[in-house]
């Protein structure tokens, strides 16, 4: 859990509400000798975190909840399926040149490589750069020769949480994760790519939560 570090004024507001509940924002402002506009951000933080309960035409009440970040709880409830975006995929026989064009046209950091429709590997910008600097003929060499192959690929699943995906991205120092659905056949496991989760997806989630009122 992520704990909110309360300011001195926010702690004072909690004490005032405990002693005088229900109490309006105007009354709190008078006791603290500040304007209601000054208090607005503090009251927003305290209500969103569940410490105070705001009731229309009544005022503020102390809820008694711990100061746990609402953003933390929301991320724990948000599934990968809710934030995933479209992946960029190519077949393993695609030339490096064609794959590189797809990478830049879609403006992504990595592309996923398929074999018979299932995940076989991943190629990053760094992989392309190494190949070019090494003198590889990008018009003839297939992308399958330079990709990071299964099972050395960090994946995530639609049912996992955004927090779990974010932890994988940080721990393994990757830009994105393929979102996969596992299938079994002939005694083997196959992974169908149904999306991707990147640092951008995680950042966008934080921004959307921050904009909520």
Beta strands in 13-88 (DSSP E): 52-55, 59-62
Q: Give dist(CA 28, CA 62) in Å, integer.
A: 13
pTM, two decimals, is 0.67
The continuous run of DSSP H or E covering 126 comes out as: helix 125-133
From the list 142, 148, 144, the residue with the least C-alpha distance to 178 is 148
Instruction: Kindly report, as residue ranges, where domains of CATH 3.10.580.10 are found in the chain.
Output: 78-207
Higher-pLDDT residue of 97 and 72 is 97
Q: For 61-92, how does the pLDDT look when each residue is reduced to its tens digit (9 = 90+)? A: 988 654 445 566 677 789 999 999 999 999 99
- Using DSSP's 3-state secondary structure scheme, residue 180 falls into strand
Instruction: Kindly report, as residue ranges, where domains of CATH 1.10.10.10 are found in the chain.
Output: 8-68
- Let me know if domain 78-207 sits in CATH 3.10.580.10: yes
Q: How many residues are listed for the chain in this entry?
A: 213
Q: For 139-197, how does the pLDDT look when each residue is reduced to its tens digit (9 = 90+)? A: 999 999 999 999 899 999 999 999 899 989 988 989 999 999 999 988 899 999 999 99
CATH architecture of 8-68: Orthogonal Bundle (1.10)
Q: Give dist(CA 87, CA 176) in Å, integer.
A: 10
Q: Is the bond into 11 cis (omega within 30 degrees of 0)?
A: no
Instruction: Flag whether pLDDT at 201 surpasses 90.
Output: yes
């Amino acid at each position: 859990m992520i704990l909110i570090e309360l300011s001195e004024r926010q702690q004072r507001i909690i004490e005032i509400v405990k002693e005088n509940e229900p109490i309006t924002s105007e009354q709190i402002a008078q006791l603290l000798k500040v304007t209601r506009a000054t208090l607005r951000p503090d009251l927003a933080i305290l209500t969103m975190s569940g410490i105070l309960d705001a009731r229309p035409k009544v005022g503020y009440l102390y809820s008694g909840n711990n100061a746990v970040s609402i953003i933390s709880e929301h991320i724990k409830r948000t599934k990968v399926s809710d934030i995933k975006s479209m992946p960029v995929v190519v077949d393993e026989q695609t030339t490096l040149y064609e794959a590189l064009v797809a990478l830049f046209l879609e403006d992504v950091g990595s592309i996923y490589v398929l074999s018979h429709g299932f995940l076989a590997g991943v190629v990053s910008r760094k992989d392309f750069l190494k190949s070019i600097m090494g003198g590889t003929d990008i018009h003839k060499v297939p992308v399958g020769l330079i990709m990071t192959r299964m099972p050395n690929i960090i994946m995530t699943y639609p049912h996992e949480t955004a927090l779990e995906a974010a932890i994988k991205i940080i721990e393994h120092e990757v830009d994105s994760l393929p979102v996969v659905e596992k299938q079994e056949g002939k005694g083997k496991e196959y992974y169908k790519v149904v999306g991707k989760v990147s640092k951008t997806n995680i950042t966008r989630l934080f921004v959307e939560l921050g904009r909520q009122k």
